Amino acid sequence: MSAVLALTLSGMCAAEAAGPVAPPLVTPAWVAAHLHTPGMVIVEVYDFDKQKPAYAKEHIPGAVFTGFLSDHWRIPMNGLPFVLPPEATIAKVIEGVGISNNSRVILVPGGAVKGDFPATTRIYWTLRMEGMNNVSIMNGGDHAWLANPKDVVATGDLTPAVGKFTPHYDAGLLATRSMVQADLNTHKFQLVDARPAKQYDGKVKPGVDKKAGTIPGALNLPFSVVLTADHEGIMDRAGVEGAMKKAGIATDKPTYTFCNTGHLASLDWFALREIAHVPDVKLYSGSMSEWTRDASLPVVDGKSAF
């Protein structure tokens, strides 16, 4: 067998193992059509392990549980409250929910009452940061799944087989403090603050920040304005671009998104990058909790359009 043929067959096998091709955002109908596909891992995202009884009561067949906070998708480090763990640490978290490098991953905001879409987008960003490209979010969460009487519902706790995952770090999705600071002079990127308007305007100071306000020049796109009315899903491209227009955000300019700890900003990152297809969107994960630790860095009161 030639080396070229062997490489081609290897790539075909990898594609098969990864499961069906899917866009970043899929519908419950898409998931229903591909249930139990070999290589596909469905992960329902809750906040804490204590919510596991709700998952065990009713969930998508084959889906596994993760607690965004209790499973340590983010950890305190270097004086910051929530950051991306080191590669060896995050690899174990990823493997713990049954994900391997060749998996096709579907993330589902969990909770029949109200899911946490930003927690799901943060895990999506984390997986992409670690080189996991075959990942999607099911729009509407399991709230949408459970609302459809035709969808099959499973009960009980499913313990996943531990995956085998080797991280392949993608620095192109991350903005650092020095990058944001440098851009205050170059203005090559637009800054987008994903926090609620009162935080952006400096009227409310979150406990993790040293100062109230926002980074000079930042535009405000509160994460909630790109969510559907029930906060279980994200709007379509027209809806996202409509919110961007109101905020003054360009659709064709590279962007840094931020919030307090990189949680809410992951939702704006997802909306701009994966829904509106804004070029080169990076998440400043340190966000205001890091920025305001340095008293020399400027902070101003914003004036939100929302």
- Which amino acid, one-letter code, is at 186? T
> Mean per-residue pLDDT for 153-181?
97
Helix (H, G, I), strand (E, B) or coil at 169: coil
Compute the mean pLDDT over every residue in the chain, rounded to the nearest whole number: 92
The reply to whether 27 and 88 lie within a common domain is: yes
Percent of the chain past pLDDT 90, that is, above it, reads 89
Do 43 and 140 belong to one domain?
yes
The reply to whether 140 and 176 lie within a common domain is no
H, E, C per residue of 197-252: HHHHCCCCCCCCCCCCCECCCCEECCHHHHECCCCCCECCHHHHHHHHHHHCCCCC
Inform me whether the pLDDT recorded for 291 exceeds 70.
yes
Percent of the chain with pLDDT over 70: 92
Residue 113 lies in a domain: yes
One domain, residues 99 and 179: no
Q: What is the pLDDT of residue 230?
A: 87
Question: Does the structure show a pLDDT above 50 at 40?
Answer: yes
User: What is the structure's pLDDT at 21?
Assistant: 80
- Maximum CA pair distance of the chain? 68
Task: Tell me how many helices (H) and strands (E) the chain has.
Answer: 11, 12
Q: From the CB of residue 167, how many other CB atoms can be counted at a distance below 10 Å?
A: 18
The tokens describing 121, both together, are 């987008």
Whether residues 216 and 280 share a domain: the answer is yes
Q: What is the pLDDT of residue 14?
A: 38
Instruction: Tell me: pLDDT of 138 over 50.
Output: yes
The reported pLDDT for the residue numbered 19 is 66
Q: Give the residue-averaged pLDDT of 6-25.
A: 54
User: Looking at the predicted structure, is the pLDDT value of residue 9 above 60?
Assistant: no
Q: Give the pLDDT band of residue 11 (cuts 50, 70, 90).
A: very low
Structure tokens at 257: 């998104």
Residue type, 234: I
Same domain, 128 and 24: yes
Q: What are phi and psi of 58, to 5 degrees?
A: -165, 125
pLDDT digits 0-9 by tens, 59-78:
999 999 999 999 999 999 99
Whether residues 141 and 193 fall in one domain: no
* Radius of gyration of the chain from its Cα atoms, rounded to whole angstroms: 20
Does residue 16 register a pLDDT over 80?
A: no
Residues 193 and 251 in one domain: yes
Number of domain units in the chain: 2
Residue 107 falls inside a structural domain: yes
* CA atoms of 67 and 116, how far apart (whole Å): 11
CATH of the domain at 202: 3.40.250.10
- Whether the model clears a pTM of 0.85, i.e. scores above it, the answer is yes
Residue 121 in domain: yes
Name the residue range of residue 281's domain: 171-291
